[in-house]
């Protein structure tokens, strides 16, 4: 199938700003789905609120655009009630880890077979550029006119600690890598987290003098390195990219199926 | 004799009703005094191949049942005051996206943490206006276990018929009291199943285009029709729109589909109402005291009766106005500061004849409490 067969062209043009990285996330994610040859009827995309969340409207899957921070809770209901479906849950950084932080760690703890995608642009874009739990200290935002003093979450470490059985990080600069990571995350049985750094030139870039979209992509190129690479070993200041966790642990829906068998045996 | 007789709590009667109605998915969070509903369903649902999940919080529970409803399942959650407050945003989502679901609120004293193990009926207005924005909602209640069972079945039926969240407003006394329940035979109470679209594969399905009768056939997530569901105002495709006409028409649809059917949705029972000069209006556990008092007074020849409401929203205005038309006085018996009384005053012909008999201290209002207030109303002193 061509990539446009996965899009709802009826709903275009999209609402993202020129230079926004979210279109690249959409592109790489759909190419992963295409490469895997998944049936569109088998995919449910659940999203919350924010620029990132609008991605669910543009894809020709079953799409559930929900309320702020709760996409994973809705997705849990969809998945547990129909485990054969493939759940994709793109979220913004504030959506996933501020208002939705509790759902994020608990979905990871359950290891329910959902692919969570944290589209990290380090800012609340839709509301006009407020700092997020992934902005980090020393940054400028419309709610931090002097500078931020909040520490940031490390999505990879947080996901690992919470129990996610697949954890990866990539960026919108590294599109081939992103496609491969999405493919592995979607195929993985269990809770998968993919953090993808995605540029917001309109708010984050402008406020923090990171230049236009091209400049911001070059920053991703220059400040990250593959896990296990010599560059990363030699320069710990670089941010690691790649797959950090990929392990087999009991998946929630499969475990619940065993509970059903147990309960039915008890009645019989 | 095939009769299945149980001696159980009201919370258990609710579970029995839900399973009878076809409940397949429950998500919840522990909270007094509703927890028995979750506990029992964690045992019974998997026995039937259904799913139970204890979520990380009240909000997540509400969200999870909406997700499960979209895959074509009958769903429910149960909570009490503080949890009901937390669920409100997602309840509004279910109103907007028109997702059938049932929310049980076994009421306790509020506001805030309030009086967790004691009875109250203080969430009547919250059931109506808890979520933001204009909307309509259905809220039902019952005073005894046979009715708890039946009204729970009704809640699922109305949720499917009108594609709406339905609130079951029980209270701590009804939830924890033990009494007899005769579980009806299969088929004895009609069950409304999910109305699914007849539109075939490959043909455009419009998830938000009502049929001529106003109903919206659904298509299960995972089925042949892929569509968008959103809490934003949306067009017939389910795609976000802020076109003024789309916004206005959708809001009218959401409110009208319930408000214009108030007479069909209204549920009530009459106790000694014929020729009654004094009418008590009550619901839930407080109705038990009102009925007890009416029975006792009738034996003494007093013309007093009870209009027991089983649907609180949409408020059964026409029923209340008609039944109270000839009354010398109407006494609303409830365990709050007059939430239903204000509704009654607003719809009867002579609001000056409407009085409140209430108790708000966490104790069940007794027949003696009501009797004392009635004496004052009747001018017989205190």
What span, in angstroms and rounded, lies between the C-alpha atoms of A160 and A169? 12
Nearest to A11 among B60, B64, B239 (CB): B239
Q: Is the CB of A73 less than 8 angstroms away from the CB of B60?
A: yes
What span, in angstroms and rounded, lies between the C-alpha atoms of A18 and A39? 31
Looking at residue B26, its pLDDT comes to: 99
Residue B64 in contact with partner chain A when CB distance is under 8 A: yes
CATH says B4-183 is which class? alpha beta
Nearest to A73 among B55, B73, B221 (CB): B55
Nearest residue to A46 via CA among A71, A78, A27, A70: A71
DSSP line for B51-98: EEEE-SSHHHHHHHHHHHHHTT--EEEEE-HHHHHHHHHHHHHHHHHT
How many CB pairs lie under 8 A apart between chains A and B?
134
For residue B221, the chain A residues in CB contact (below 8 A) are 44, 62, 64, 78, 82, 85
Nearest to B46 among A81, A82, A260 (CB): A260
Nearest residue to B168 via CA among B21, B47, B357, B360: B21
pLDDT higher than threshold 90 for residue B381: no
Looking at residue A3, its pLDDT comes to: 87
Residue-averaged pLDDT of chain B: 97
Confidence category of residue A11, pLDDT binned at 50, 70, 90: confident
Residues in Cβ contact with B147 at an 8 Å cutoff, skipping those fewer than 6 apart: B269, B310
Mutation target among B228, B229, B234 for the A interface, most CBs of A within 10 A: B228
Looking at residue A2, its pLDDT comes to: 83
How many other β-carbons are positioned within 10 Å of the β-carbon of residue A17? 15
In this predicted model, what pLDDT tens digit does every residue of A22-64 receive, in sequence order? 999 999 999 999 999 999 999 999 999 999 999 999 999 999 9
For the residues A100-124, what does the mean pLDDT come to?
98
In this predicted model, what pLDDT tens digit does every residue of B33-85 receive, in sequence order? 999 999 999 999 999 999 999 999 999 999 999 999 999 999 999 999 999 99
Looking at residue B15, its pLDDT comes to: 98
Q: What CATH code would you report for A3-267?
A: 3.40.50.970
Mutation target among A73, A79, A255 for the B interface, most CBs of B within 10 A: A73
Confidence category of residue A10, pLDDT binned at 50, 70, 90: confident
In this predicted model, what pLDDT tens digit does every residue of B271-306 receive, in sequence order? 999 999 999 999 999 999 999 999 999 999 999 999
Place of tokens 């592995």: A184
pLDDT higher than threshold 90 for residue B236: yes
Looking at residue B380, its pLDDT comes to: 87
Confidence category of residue A1, pLDDT binned at 50, 70, 90: confident
Residue B70 in contact with partner chain A when CB distance is under 8 A: yes
What span, in angstroms and rounded, lies between the C-alpha atoms of B327 and B277? 5
Q: Work out the percent of chain B whose per-residue pLDDT is above 70.
A: 99
Distance from B232 to chain A by nearest Cα, in Å? 9
Q: Is the CB of B47 less than 8 angstroms away from the CB of A81?
A: no
Nearest residue to A115 via CA among A104, A100, A101, A102: A104
What span, in angstroms and rounded, lies between the C-alpha atoms of A7 and B300? 75
For the residues A102-118, what does the mean pLDDT come to?
98
For the residues A237-252, what does the mean pLDDT come to?
98
Question: Would you list the domain boundaries of chain B?
Answer: 4-183, 268-377
Residues B287, B306 contacting (CB under 8 angstroms): yes
Q: What CATH code would you report for B268-377?
A: 3.40.50.920
Question: Would you list the domain boundaries of chain A?
Answer: 3-267
What span, in angstroms and rounded, lies between the C-alpha atoms of B353 and B36? 41
Distance from B242 to chain A by nearest Cα, in Å? 14
Distance from A110 to chain B by nearest Cα, in Å? 10
Distance from A144 to chain B by nearest Cα, in Å? 28
For residue B231, the chain A residues in CB contact (below 8 A) are 65-67
Looking at residue A132, its pLDDT comes to: 98
Residue B56 in contact with partner chain A when CB distance is under 8 A: yes
Q: Is the CB of A57 less than 8 angstroms away from the CB of B90?
A: no
In this predicted model, what pLDDT tens digit does every residue of B305-356 receive, in sequence order? 999 999 999 999 999 999 999 999 999 999 999 999 999 999 999 999 999 9
Residue A78 in contact with partner chain B when CB distance is under 8 A: yes
In this predicted model, what pLDDT tens digit does every residue of A180-227 receive, in sequence order? 999 999 999 999 999 999 999 999 999 999 999 999 999 999 999 999
In this predicted model, what pLDDT tens digit does every residue of B183-202 receive, in sequence order? 999 999 999 999 999 999 99
Confidence category of residue B214, pLDDT binned at 50, 70, 90: confident
Q: Is the CB of A63 less than 8 angstroms away from the CB of B229?
A: yes
Confidence category of residue B223, pLDDT binned at 50, 70, 90: very high
Query: Exposure of B370 by Cβ count < 10 A (0-12 exposed, 13-18 middle, 19+ buried)?
Result: buried
Q: Work out the percent of chain A whose per-residue pLDDT is above 90.
A: 97
In this predicted model, what pLDDT tens digit does every residue of B124-152 receive, in sequence order? 999 999 999 999 999 999 999 999 999 99
Nearest to A74 among B46, B64, B228 (CB): B64
Confidence category of residue B2, pLDDT binned at 50, 70, 90: low
Residue B221 in contact with partner chain A when CB distance is under 8 A: yes
Task: Find the closest chain B residue to A259 by CA distance.
Answer: B46
Nearest to B56 among A65, A79, A102 (CB): A102
Write the Ramachandran bin of A129: left for phi over 0, alpha for psi from -120 to 50, otherwise beta: left
Looking at residue B212, its pLDDT comes to: 87
Residue A83 in contact with partner chain B when CB distance is under 8 A: no
Nearest to B67 among A63, A78, A256 (CB): A78
pLDDT higher than threshold 80 for residue A121: yes
What span, in angstroms and rounded, lies between the C-alpha atoms of A220 and A218? 5
The residues in A 31-50 lying below 8 A from B, measured between CB atoms, are 40-42, 44, 46
pLDDT higher than threshold 90 for residue A143: yes
Distance from A194 to chain B by nearest Cα, in Å? 22
pLDDT higher than threshold 70 for residue B1: no
What span, in angstroms and rounded, lies between the C-alpha atoms of B252 and B135? 9
Nearest to B231 among A67, A78, A263 (CB): A67
What span, in angstroms and rounded, lies between the C-alpha atoms of B125 and B133? 14
């Amino acid at each position: 199938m061509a990539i446009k067969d996965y899009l709802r062209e009826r709903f275009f043009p999209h609402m993202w700003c020129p230079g926004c990285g979210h279109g690249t996330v959409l592109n790489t994610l759909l190419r992963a789905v295409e490469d895997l040859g998944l049936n569109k009827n088998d995919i449910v995309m659940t999203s919350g609120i924010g620029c990132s969340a609008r991605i669910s409207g543009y894809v020709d899957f079953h799409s559930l655009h929900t309320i702020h921070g709760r996409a994973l809770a809705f997705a849990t209901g969809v998945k547990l009630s129909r485990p054969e479906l493939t759940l994709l849950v793109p979220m913004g950084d504030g959506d996933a880890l501020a208002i939705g932080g509790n759902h994020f760690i608990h979905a990871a703890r359950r290891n329910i077979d959902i692919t969570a995608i944290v589209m990290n642009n380090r800012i609340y874009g839709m509301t006009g550029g407020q700092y997020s739990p992934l902005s980090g200290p020393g940054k400028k935002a419309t709610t931090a006119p002097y500078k931020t003093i909040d520490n940031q979450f490390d999505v990879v470490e947080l996901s690992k600690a919470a129990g996610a059985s697949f954890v990866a990080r990539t960026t919108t600069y590294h599109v081939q890598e992103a496609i491969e990571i999405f493919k592995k995350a979607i195929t993985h049985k269990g809770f998968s987290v993919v953090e993808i750094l995605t540029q917001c030139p309109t708010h984050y870039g402008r406020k923090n003098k990171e230049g236009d979209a091209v400049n911001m992509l070059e920053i991703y190129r220059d400040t990250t390195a593959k896990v296990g690479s010599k560059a990363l070993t030699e320069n710990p200041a670089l941010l690691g990219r790649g797959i950090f966790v990929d392990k087999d642990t009991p998946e929630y829906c499969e475990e619940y199926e065993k509970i059903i068998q147990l309960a039915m045996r008890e009645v019989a | 004799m095939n009769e299945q007789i149980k001696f159980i709590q009201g919370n258990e009667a609710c579970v029995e009703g839900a399973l009878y109605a076809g409940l397949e998915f429950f998500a919840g969070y522990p909270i007094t005094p509703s927890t028995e509903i979750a506990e029992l369903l964690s045992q019974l649902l998997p026995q039937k191949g259904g799913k139970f999940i204890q979520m990380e919080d009240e909000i997540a529970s509400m969200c999870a049942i909406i997700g499960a409803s979209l895959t074509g399942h009958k769903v429910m959650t149960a909570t009490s005051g503080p949890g009901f407050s937390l669920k409100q945003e997602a309840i509004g989502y279910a109103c907007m996206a028109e997702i059938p679901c049932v929310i049980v609120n076994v009421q306790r004293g509020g506001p805030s943490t309030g009086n967790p193990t004691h009875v109250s009926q203080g969430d009547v207005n919250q059931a109506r206006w808890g979520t933001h924005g204009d909307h309509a909602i259905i809220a039902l209640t019952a005073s005894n276990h046979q009715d708890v069972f039946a009204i729970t079945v009704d809640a699922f039926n109305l949720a499917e018929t009108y594609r709406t969240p339905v609130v079951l407003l029980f209270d701590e006394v009804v939830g924890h009291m033990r009494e007899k329940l005769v579980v009806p035979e299969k088929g004895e109470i009609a069950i409304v199943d999910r109305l699914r679209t007849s539109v075939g594969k490959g043909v455009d399905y419009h998830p938000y285009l009502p049929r001529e009768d106003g109903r919206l056939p659904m298509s299960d997530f995972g089925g042949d029709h892929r569509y968008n569901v959103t809490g934003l105002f949306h067009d017939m495709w389910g795609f976000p729109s802020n076109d003024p006409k789309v916004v206005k028409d959708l809001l009218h649809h959401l409110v009208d589909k319930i408000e214009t059917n108030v007479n069909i949705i209204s549920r009530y029972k009459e106790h000694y109402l014929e020729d009654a000069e004094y009418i008590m209006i009550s619901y839930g556990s407080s109705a038990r005291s009102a009925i007890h008092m009416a029975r006792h007074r009738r034996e003494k020849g007093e013309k007093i009766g009870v209009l027991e409401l089983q649907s609180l929203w949409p408020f059964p205005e026409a029923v209340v106005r008609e039944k109270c038309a000839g009354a010398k006085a109407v006494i609303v018996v409830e365990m709050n500061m007059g939430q239903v009384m204000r509704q009654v005053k607003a719809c009867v012909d002579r609001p000056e004849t409407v009085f409140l008999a209430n108790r708000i201290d966490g104790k069940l209002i007794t027949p003696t409490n009501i009797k004392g207030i009635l004496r004052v109303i009747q001018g017989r002193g205190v």
